[in-house]
Structure 1
Amino acid sequence: MALLFRWLLRIAAGLIGLVVAGVVLVYFLASQSLPEYDQTVEVRGLTAPVEIVRDNANVPHIFGQTDPDVFFGMGYAHAQDRLWQMTIFRRTAQGRLSEVFGERTVRIDRLMRRLDLYTLALQSVEAQDDYTKSALRAYAAGVNARLAEINDQALGRGAPEMFLFNAPIAPWQPGDSLAIIKLMALQLTGHLEDEVLRARTSLMLNTPERLRDILPDIPGTGVAALPEYASLFPNLPRYAEGVPMPTSPLSPFPKRGLAGASNAWAADPSRSASGGTLLANDPHLGFAAPSTWYLARLELQEGGLIGAGIPGVPSILIGRSNRMGWGLTASYADDQDLFIEQLNPQNPEQYLTPDGFKSLETRPSIIEIKGAAPITLTLRWTENGPVLPGSMYDLATVTPPGHVVSLGWTALSPRDSSLSASMELMRSGTVREAIRAAEGFVAPSLNLTVADQETVGLKMIGAVPRRDPRHQSKGRLPSQGWRVENRWLGRAPYAANPQFVNPRGGLLGNTNNKLVERPFPNHVSYIWGDTQRVNRWQRLMQSRQVHTRDSFIEAQLDPVSPTARTLLPLIGADLWFTGQAAPEGTPERQRQIALSLLAEWNGEMNEHLPEPLIYAAWLRALQKRLITDELGPLAKEFKHVEPLFIERVYRNVDGASAWCDVRQSAPTESCTEMARLALDDALVWIEERYGSALESLRWGDAHQATHDHPTLGKVPVLRFFVNIRQSTSGGDNTLQRGRTSGEDPNPFYNVHGAGYRGVYDFADPDSSVFITSTGQSGHFLSRHYDDMAQLWRRGEYIPMSLDTELARAAAVGVTVLQPAP
C-alpha cells in the first residue's frame, strides 16, 4: 500500500511538473512578442530619425522631421501594440478568415466576398490626394519595418495569438488601410436590416397603424403613406423562417440596434465658464479587448495632434490640435437601399433593367478553408450593386421566386476619398476649414462636431444617395430594381447635408437624434439612433448658464434614464398602492415590493441599485407580451425595448392600445392587466437568476461590460486572462450609454458603448482629457492591456496634453527609429 501511495505521489508530482513546465513554456513563448519600448532600431524607409515617446499611459508621442516619417512611426507603433488586431481587420475585409479559423468563419467570408470591399479599397488608393498617398506608403513601410524586426529577431511571431493560429502576415500595403475604413462603414450602418424587418413586419400585420406602432416614425411631421410590401410582391408568404446572421465575435455585421451610436456636444465662449470653447465626444461601438480605438499624438509640420484612431489607419480620426478639436457621431443617414431584381426566366444570368434584360457582371472567387476543401463563389453584380445571398439578413424571406436582391450602398465606391478628407480635416485650424475639408468624405456617413478657439459647428459628412421623389418605398422597403424611379440619381450635394455653425444659444450637440425635418427625398433618414438621450442632454445643457470641462464630463457619465421617468408612470399608473395585503413570500407581495422600490426611484441606472434591473426586466417582459400575439415567431427579432412603441400603446395613440388585447384569448385584456402580468414575469425571471431579495439586487451584476477577446475570448481558462468584464452603470437610453445585448441568457449585458471618451477645453487645451475602455496594448501579458479599463469604468480620464516634457516625464520608454544604411 505504501509503495502504491509513493508511485501515485510521484505520478501526481510529475503531472504537476509537466503542467508547470507547460505554463512556463507558454508564458515564455508569448512574452517574446512583448514589444521593447526603450530601444534604438535601424529600419529601412526613413529619411531621418523618428522618436516615439510613450507616456506613462503608453500613449505614443511621435516626432519626425517630415510628415511621412511621422506616419512611418505611427505604423511602427500600431504594429508593436495591435498587430494581431490589424491582421484580423484586414483578413475580415478580404474575406480570408477561414484560412485561419476554418469552417466556423466561412459564412462571414462568403458575405464579405459578395460585398467585395477589399477590391474597392485597393481601387480607391488612386482616389486619394498626394499627401494621403504619401502617408499611406510611409505608414505601410512602418508596419513592414516592425514585421521585418519580428522576423529578424524571432520576436515571438509578433503576437501571442500567432502561436495558436497559423496566420502568415503579408506585407502591409496602402489599400489595407482603406479596407479597414470600409469595414468600419459596414459596422456603422443598419438600414439594410431595417428595410428587411419592416418588410417582414408589414407582411405579418394587417393595418398600417400597427406597423407605425412597432416600427415608429421619429416624432415630427408624419411620413407620407407607403405601399404595403405585399402589394409590391403579392406572392410572398406572411411569414417565413429566416437564417440567423453569423454570431461569431469575428463577424463585422452589426446586429439590429447595434449599428453605431455616439454623443458629441460643444459650447462656444458665451456658454463656457473659462471663456474658451468646449467639446465632448464619446463614439459608441461594440466592446472588445483590445478596444477598437488607439490613442496617439502626432507632431506634424503644421503642429501637434492628439486623439484616437483605428489600428491600421494612418489618421487621428477624433481628437484635437492646439487650434481645433473635432468629434464624430453616427449620422444615421439612409445610405443603403435593397433592390429586388427580376431574373430572366429564359436565362437566370440576366436581370431586368429599365432598358430590358442585361447580363449580370460575374467573377469567380475562391475561399481557402483551413482543414477543408476550398470553395468557389461566383460574385454577381447588377447596375444597382452586388447581389446578396438569401441567407444574409433574412433576405430570402422577402424575395419572391425568380428574383434576387442587390444592395446599393455608398461605401461600395471604387473612388472613396474618405481618408484624404480625414487627413485634411485633422490639419484644419477653424470650424469652416474643417467643414470644407470633410467634403470628400464618402462612407460611413457621420456627424462632425467641431470647435475652434471661438466657434462651434456641426456638419453631417459622407455621401447621401440622391433619390427620385417618385421612389415607391422612399427607401424604407426593398423596391423593384427595374423601375427607373427606384434607382439612385447619384450623390446629393454636400451643401444639402445638415449644418449648424455659431448657434444662437451657444450650444450644439448630437446624440444620434433627428437633426432635421425635411420632406422626402431631402429627409436624410426616416430612422434615427436616438429619441430618448437627447431629452436628458437638453435638460443638462440648459440647466446652467455656463459650462466647464467638468460639467461636460458629468454629462458624458450621466446615468439617468429619461425613458424610465416617462414610461414607469404610464405602465404602472393603475398598479401603485392598489394591491390588497399580501403575506410574505407570495407573488403579490413581491410585486408590491417592486412597485414600492420603483415609486421612489429617480430613474438613475446606477450599477449599485436594484431598481434599474427591475425596470429593465419589466419593460422587456411587457414588450414581449404585447407583440408575441400579433407577430408570432417574428417577435423574437425585436430584441430591444422600443420606448416609442410602449408610449404609443399606453397613451393609445391611433388606437395602439389594441396591442394589449390577446386576440387568441376570449376575454379582452386591458393594458393594466398586461403590465401586471409582465411585472410578474419579470420578477419570476429575476428570482431564477438573482434570488428573491429584491432590495439586494445590483444592476451592475446584470449590466456587465463585455470587453471580450474576439478570438481567445471563449477558450477555456485563457478567457479569464483575455476578457475584461466590469460592472457598469447606464443603459440603452442614458447619456452614459451601455447598450444591452437583448439576447438570452444575459439580455442585459453591456455590449456596445463608449470605447473612447474625450473632453477638450480650448481656454487651456492641455487640460483636456481622454480615455479608452481597455488599454493601448493588444498583448494580454502587457500591463497596458487593461490598465485604462478600471479608470474608464470609474469615469476617470488621463491627460490629453501636447506638452512634450510632460510626455517624457515618467515615460515607459523612448524608441528611436534610425534610417538603416
Structure 2
Amino acid sequence: MKLNRKLVRLGKLLRPLVLLIGITLAICLVTTIAYLYSAQSSPSGKRVIKGIGDSVVITFDEADIPHIKANSQSDALFALGYLHASERSWQMEINRRLASGRLSEILGNETFKIDRFIRTLGIKHAAEQQFDKYPVSTKRLLQAYADGVNAGNANLGWALPIEYFLTGSKPGHWSPTDSVAWMLMMALDLGGNWHKELQRLELSQFLTTKQVWEVLPPFEPDEPVTNVDFAKIYRDINLFNPHSDSSNRHSNALPVTEHLAMDLPGGKDGIGSNNWAIGGKLTVSGKPLLANDPHLGLSAPAIWYFARLDAPGMNVIGGTLPGIPAVILGRTDKFAWSFTNTNPDVQDLYIEQIDSINPGMYRGPDGLLPFKVRQEIIDIKGAASINFIVKETRHGPVISDSYERAKRAINTDRFALAFRWTALDIENQSVVSLLEMNRAKDLDSFKQALRKNYAPMQNVVMADTDGNIAYQAAGVAPKRVLHHGLYGTAPALGWEKQYDWNGYVPFEQLPASNNPEQGWLATANQRIIASNDPNPLTADWDLSARYDRIVDLIKSRDSHDLEYMKTMQADTLSLSSIPLLELFKTSTPSHPLGAKALELAKDFNGDMKVDSAAALVFNAWADQLTRNLFSRLGYIFSETYGDRNYRGALLAQIRNPNSPWCDNPKTALVETCLDASNDAFDKALQYLSKEYGDDPKKWSWGNAHIAISEHRPMSKVPLLRKLFNLEAPFPGDSNTVNVGRLELLRTSNPYETKQAPSLRTIYDLSDLENSLFIYQTGQSGWVQSKLYRNMNPLWAKNEYLPLQMKPENSKRQLELVSK
C-alpha cells in the first residue's frame, strides 16, 4: 500500500511535467506545420509587387526552369532578381556578406580572417568604383535586378529559409554594387597564380631555385619561362622571417583551425572546365554540337540557377549565378556558347621594402613613397568589433598583414607583400559584357560583347545554327616577354621598374579561331598560344591530360552525335595516371594483402570507374608515393597538398629511377623510386584495409571517391551536415574529363571530391530544343524542398534534363503584377 501511495504521489508530481512536454511538442508540431505551409519554397499564383514596371509572367517547366516573359529587359531582370531571392535567399546573403567581408557579423570569429582578407583586397570598394563608370543604361538594369532581389526577400515574410533562424539573421539589402562585387569574387575563385608565387617564395627559404622548379615544375619540362635565380635574390635581401627557416619548417605549420579559416577562394589545381565544339562535317546531323562542363567547387545549393529571359531584344536560356543579372552560360534560338578558364597570369605579388626610419613609407623606383591607408572595422557576432588598417602600395593592397602564410614567410618588420590584380582595375566592366552577350543577335555581335569582358579571362567556344564554330579568349592579361624578368612566376622586387606591368595584351592579339580546317575546337585549361603572339599568357598552365583525352575521343570516330557527347563528358580514363602504371604494377609490397592487390592491378589501365577496386588501390598508392617524395617539405607540403596535387612534379621525378627526391632522408640507405613505391604500396594497403576491410575484391573507387556538395556554413556543424550536404559516389580523378579533384590532406577522407563538373550542358545546333543540362543539386535553395536535391542522382550517373525554350508542359506559373 505504501508503495502504491508513493507511485500515486509521483504520478501527481510528474503530471505537470508530462503536460508541459506534451504542450511543448504540440507547439513545435504546430510551428513546424505553420512554417512549412507559410514558406514560399515553390512560388506560384499572383504577386502584387512594388517596383516592377509591367506585369511579368513566369512559367516553370518540368525541369523547374522558370521562363520569364516580360515587356522590357528591366522587368525581366527584376523578375530574375525576385526568383533568385525567392529560391536562393540564403545563398545570396552568404555571397553578399562574403564579397563585402561581413560574414563575421552573423557567423562569429570563425570567419574573421576571411573577412579581413576580403576587406584587405577591397572587393566591395573596387566594385563601387567600377560601378560608377558603368553606362547609365547598365546601371538601371542592375538597379532593376537589385530591386527584384529586395522585393523577393521582402515577400518571403516571416517563414524565411531555416538558415536565418539557425544564425539569428535576416536578409540584408541588395545593391547594384553587390552584383559587381560578386562578379569580382568569381574572378578571384578562378584566379590563383598568386598562391603559386607565394609557394615558390616559401620553398625558397630552404631550396635552390632549381629545386623549387622540381617541386612546381614548368609546363615544358626543363624549360622555365624565366632564368632568374629568385631564391638567391630573396636570400641576398634577407627577405625571410628569421623565425621561419629550414631548421624549423617541420614544426612551423599553422594550426588546423587556422588553415581551415583561411580557406580562401581560388588557388586550387583543377579549377577550370572542359568545352568543345564539333563542326557539321564531323556530325551525323551536319550541324555543330557544343559541350561544356565547368569545374567549380561543389556547393549546396549549387552555384548555378537555370532560367530563361524573354523580353524585347533578349531571348536567352541557361545558367545564371544568383547575384548576377544575366545568363552566364547558355544559348539563344540562334547560337550557344561555353566557357573554360583561360587561366592567364593576371595576379602578381610584389615585395615592398619598408623604410626603417618611417614605416609609413616604402621604397619606390625613384625614392620613398607613402603607403595609402584606410581603416576597416569588422563587427563580430558575440565579440568586440576589430579595427585594423589596410595599406596599399602603387601595386595594390598589402596582403602580408592579413594572410598568415605570407606573414609567416617574410620579415614583416622590413618587407611587405603587395597584390596586383587586373580584376581590381577601375576599368573592369565585365557585367556590362554579360548583359551585351545576352542581347546579342548572332555570333558576330556576341564576339563584340566579349571585348568588354575584363576578368576572369575565359576560353569562349561558340557555335550557331548556320554551322559556324568559333573560339575566342576574352579578358585582359598583362603583356609579358618570354625569359624577361620573373614572368610572374614568383614575387618580384617592387622597387625595380623592370618588374612593373607594361600594359595589357590587345584583344586582337588574344588567341582566336573561326571554323578551323580540322573541324573541331576544344579547351581544357591547357596551354593556349595565339598564332601572332608566341608568348604564353602564363607560366602555370594545367596538365594537358583532359585536353589530350578530349582530342583522342574526338579523333576516334569520323561522325559524332548527341549520345557521343554524353559519352565524352562521362569519360574517366586518366591520362596523367598512365605514366605511373609501370611503376605501380612492378612494385612488390610486403603487406599481407599485397598479392591480392597486385592481382587486381594487373589489368588496370587508368580508367577511374566508380566500381573499380584497382582505381582505389592505384589512387591510394599514388597518394602515398607523392607523400613519400614531397612530405620532406614540411608544412609547405602539408598545407598545400590538396590545393596542389603535385602530379606534375611526381611525373617529372619518376622519369629518373634514382631521383634524389625518391630517397628517404630519414634513413642511412639511399632509396630508389622503386623503393619509395614499395613503401607507398604498403602504406596504401594499410590505410585501405583499415578503412574498407581486408577483402580487396569488395573495395571500389566509389566507396572513397564521394562527391560532396557542401552547404555554407552548415557543413561545418556535425548535427546539420547530413541534412544540408549532398553526397554521391563519383568516378574520375583530378585529371579525367569527368573530373573529380581529390581533397588529399584537406579532409579526413583524402579521396573525396568537392570540385567536379558543377554543370554539364550539350547543345545540338541542328535543333537547339534537343539541348541538355544537369547540375549536382536542384533549383531550390530550401533544404526541405525535394527540388533542393532532385538532380543529384542524375548528375552522378551522367544523366540529363532538357534545356528547351518551348517546353511541352509546365508545372506552375507565377505572375508578378505592378502595385
Same fold (TM over 0.5): yes
Among candidates 89, 99, 106, match of residue 93 of structure 1: 99
SS in 1 for 2:351: strand
Amino acid at match of 2:164: M
CA contact (8 A) 1:67 1:301 kept: yes
CA contact (8 A) 2:191 2:266 kept: no
User: Residue 613 and residue 351 in structure 1: after superposition, are their counterparts in 2 closer, same or farther (change >3 A)?
Assistant: same
Shift of 1:572: 3.2
User: Residue 146 and residue 310 in structure 1: after superposition, are their counterparts in 2 closer, same or farther (change >3 A)?
Assistant: same
Task: State whether structure 2 residue 730 is matched by structure 1 residue 718.
Answer: no
Task: State whether structure 2 residue 493 is matched by structure 1 residue 480.
Answer: yes
Name the residue aligned to 2:119.
113
User: Residue 781 and residue 258 in structure 1: after superposition, are their counterparts in 2 closer, same or farther (change >3 A)?
Assistant: farther
Amino acid at match of 1:801: Q
Within a 5 Å distance, the mapping from 1:351-390 to structure 2 comes to 351-390=362-401
SS in 2 for 1:62: strand
Name the residue aligned to 2:798.
795
Q: Deviations over 1:362-386 (max 9, x none)?
A: 1111111111111111121111000
Name the residue aligned to 2:706.
704
Among candidates 626, 646, 649, match of residue 645 of structure 1: 649
Task: State whether structure 2 residue 753 is matched by structure 1 residue 750.
Answer: yes
Shift of 1:48: 1.7
Shift of 1:300: 2.8
Among candidates 445, 459, 462, match of residue 433 of structure 1: 445
RMSD, matched Cα: 2.5
User: Residue 14 and residue 246 in structure 1: after superposition, are their counterparts in 2 closer, same or farther (change >3 A)?
Assistant: same
Distance 2:324 2:576 in 1: 38
Amino acid at match of 1:741: E
Shift of 1:186: 1.2
CA contact (8 A) 1:42 1:817 kept: yes
Amino acid at match of 2:87: D
Name the residue aligned to 2:128.
122
SS in 1 for 2:789: coil
Task: State whether structure 2 residue 357 is matched by structure 1 residue 346.
Answer: yes
User: Residue 39 and residue 553 in structure 1: after superposition, are their counterparts in 2 closer, same or farther (change >3 A)?
Assistant: same
CA contact (8 A) 2:309 2:317 kept: yes
SS in 2 for 1:713: helix
Amino acid at match of 1:357: L
Shift of 1:46: 2.4
Name the residue aligned to 2:47.
41
Distance 1:460 1:678 in 2: 42
Shift of 1:531: 2.5
Distance 1:155 1:102 in 2: 24
Among candidates 780, 784, 789, match of residue 786 of structure 1: 789
Distance 1:246 1:466 in 2: 39
CA contact (8 A) 1:306 1:316 kept: yes
CA contact (8 A) 2:610 2:730 kept: yes
Distance 1:610 1:470 in 2: 46
Q: Deviations over 1:437-471 (max 9, x none)?
A: 11111111221111122211222111102346785
Task: State whether structure 2 residue 189 is matched by structure 1 residue 176.
Answer: no
Distance 2:202 2:263 in 1: 23
Name the residue aligned to 1:582.
none
Among candidates 487, 503, 525, match of residue 512 of structure 1: 525
User: Residue 455 and residue 701 in structure 1: after superposition, are their counterparts in 2 closer, same or farther (change >3 A)?
Assistant: same
CA contact (8 A) 2:88 2:780 kept: yes
CA contact (8 A) 1:324 1:428 kept: no
User: Residue 14 and residue 559 in structure 1: after superposition, are their counterparts in 2 closer, same or farther (change >3 A)?
Assistant: farther
Shift of 1:159: 2.0
Q: Deviations over 1:729-754 (max 9, x none)?
A: 11111111011111241111111011
CA contact (8 A) 1:196 1:393 kept: no
Q: Deviations over 1:61-112 (max 9, x none)?
A: 0001111111111111111100111111011111111111111111111111
Shift of 1:487: 1.1
Distance 2:162 2:155 in 1: 16
CA contact (8 A) 1:264 1:329 kept: yes
User: Residue 207 and residue 90 in structure 1: after superposition, are their counterparts in 2 closer, same or farther (change >3 A)?
Assistant: closer
Shift of 1:287: 1.0
Q: Which moved more, 1:410-419 or 1:220-229?
A: 220-229
Name the residue aligned to 2:456.
444
Give the structure-2-normalised TM-score.
0.92
Q: Deviations over 1:704-742 (max 9, x none)?
A: 111121122233443322111111111111111011111
SS in 1 for 2:174: coil
Name the residue aligned to 1:583.
none
Name the residue aligned to 2:223.
222
Q: Deviations over 1:120-151 (max 9, x none)?
A: 1122123333442232121112112223323x
Shift of 1:676: 0.9
CA contact (8 A) 1:53 1:60 kept: yes
Name the residue aligned to 1:597.
600
Distance 2:149 2:620 in 1: 48
Among candidates 538, 559, 569, match of residue 551 of structure 2: 538
Name the residue aligned to 1:406.
418
Amino acid at match of 1:628: S
Distance 1:104 1:638 in 2: 21
CA contact (8 A) 2:371 2:391 kept: yes
Distance 1:722 1:248 in 2: 23
Amino acid at match of 1:706: I
Distance 1:288 1:249 in 2: 17
Distance 1:262 1:118 in 2: 27
Percent pairwise identity: 31
SS in 1 for 2:204: helix
Name the residue aligned to 1:316.
327
Shift of 1:486: 0.8
CA contact (8 A) 1:213 1:656 kept: no
Among candidates 271, 292, 296, match of residue 303 of structure 2: 292
Q: Which moved more, 1:4-13 or 1:188-197?
A: 4-13
CA contact (8 A) 1:772 1:789 kept: yes
SS in 2 for 1:423: helix
SS in 2 for 1:740: coil
User: Residue 147 and residue 251 in structure 1: after superposition, are their counterparts in 2 closer, same or farther (change >3 A)?
Assistant: farther
Within a 5 Å distance, the mapping from 1:480-629 to structure 2 comes to 480-516=493-529, 522-573=535-586, 575=588, 587-629=590-632
Among candidates 738, 741, 745, match of residue 740 of structure 2: 738
SS in 2 for 1:465: coil
Amino acid at match of 1:772: Y
Distance 1:373 1:813 in 2: 48
Matched positions, count: 798
SS in 2 for 1:348: coil
Distance 2:688 2:123 in 1: 44
Give the structure-1-normalised TM-score.
0.92
Name the residue aligned to 1:584.
none
CA contact (8 A) 1:200 1:397 kept: no
User: Residue 762 and residue 468 in structure 1: after superposition, are their counterparts in 2 closer, same or farther (change >3 A)?
Assistant: closer
Amino acid at match of 1:684: Q
SS in 2 for 1:682: helix
Name the residue aligned to 1:211.
212
Name the residue aligned to 1:776.
779
Distance 1:565 1:27 in 2: 56
Distance 1:246 1:330 in 2: 31
SS in 1 for 2:564: helix
Distance 2:613 2:39 in 1: 44
Name the residue aligned to 2:433.
421
Amino acid at match of 1:728: F
Distance 2:260 2:785 in 1: 22
